[in-house]
Amino acid sequence: MASTVPFSPAKVQMLQATNCHGHAPFGSSFAVPRTGPKQRSLAVRVSSEQEAAAAVRAPSGRSIEECEADAVAGKFPAPAAFVRPKAPDGTPEIRPLDMPKRPRRNRRSPALRAAFQETTISPANLVLPLFIHEGEEDAPIGAMPGCFRLGWQHGLLDEVYKARDVGVNSFVLFPKVPDALKSPTGIEAYNDNGLVPRTIRLLKDKFPDIIVYTDVALDPYSSDGHDGIVREDGVILNDETVYQLCKQAVSQARAGADVVSPSDMMDGRVGAIRSALDAEGFNDVSIMSYTAKYASSFYGPFREALDSNPRFGDKKTYQMNPANYREALLETAADEAEGADILLVKPGLPYLDIIRLLRDNSALPIAAYQKIIFAAAP
């Protein structure tokens, strides 16, 4: 937008003289002063506020010493009289409170509030879950309105394109594995040409700069629907499961995963996975541990999306008791000692106190996983 700034003729002449090519600046039109002894203000039209400010600040050609001499002599316009904004009629006249500390000082303008904001969140902080399957077309997830199992070659790429447009650059993969590939020991979990490794390679080829997280657990690959190997008496085997998880994490890292995320809640799995990754040369692959994963009915829609509901029993022998608070500190200490890079709480919203607990007791980044299902209004 053009602006009009008052100038004297002498100033207009000076501005024209300072142009190194002897022409008025491009996009500006200057009023040419009439000759004569009478000085008067003229209007200079400039094409922008920036040019107006530049015109005001144009150098006069005087030396630093001359400018300093003016400052010493006080040859500057007197400051405008301070006028305090008036309060509305009826405001009582009081003596200000004797308060050396007034927290509102740091809130008095948008710029100050932004400068001192303690907590910020942006799309860069978010990780988008991507549910994938072997089909070419997207398939709706009944328990999650508006969500789909994405065709790993088509809908998946479209979803990532859209997310990147709004600033989301981190994605976590959750597969729906065909029943024919499931087994009691979940061996499909570490098939280098399985659904997840193929998807990682595809994403890294199309979007090399995104961050790919993976889920490390056996339940999508288990014919029993549990996160670990099930003994004939129903006991979930811990150490044998960890052995399988290590092979799964290495397979994912080999495909190009940036962060592997053990969600199984087996004891000792973080340290074992760290050792397995390092032994294979994947020292730079991070581990985001599901540190405080509570047994919860919130997981129902998620399990439908992956077709990973347990075929019998529940997961309470390895997922945490929802009534336990201090136990999260035990899991935090173990995961930190074993080499976790990120700690995660799941579900997020019902356990805000646990998120705060981990934040107060660990210097590691704290993540939270919350499934939010949006239903369209009628």
- Ramachandran angles phi, psi of 46, nearest 5°: -120, 160
Q: Would strands 286-293 and 236-237 be described as parallel, antiparallel, or unpaired?
A: unpaired
- At 126, the amino acid letter reads L
Q: Is 346 a catalytic residue?
A: yes
Q: Which of 182, 315, 346, 371 is catalytic?
A: 346
Residue in 176, 168, 182, 186 with CA at minimum distance from that of residue 151: 176
Contact 176, 149 (CB under 8 A): yes
Half-sphere exposure (CA, 13 Å, Cβ side) for 55? 27
Which residues on adjacent β-strands are paired with residue 284?
none
CB atoms within 10 A of CB 169: 16
Residue in 316, 204, 190, 306 with CA at minimum distance from that of residue 257: 204
Q: Is 293 a catalytic residue?
A: yes
CA distance 269 to 239: 8
Q: Which of 11, 182, 293, 371 is catalytic?
A: 293
Q: Which residues are catalytic?
A: 293, 346
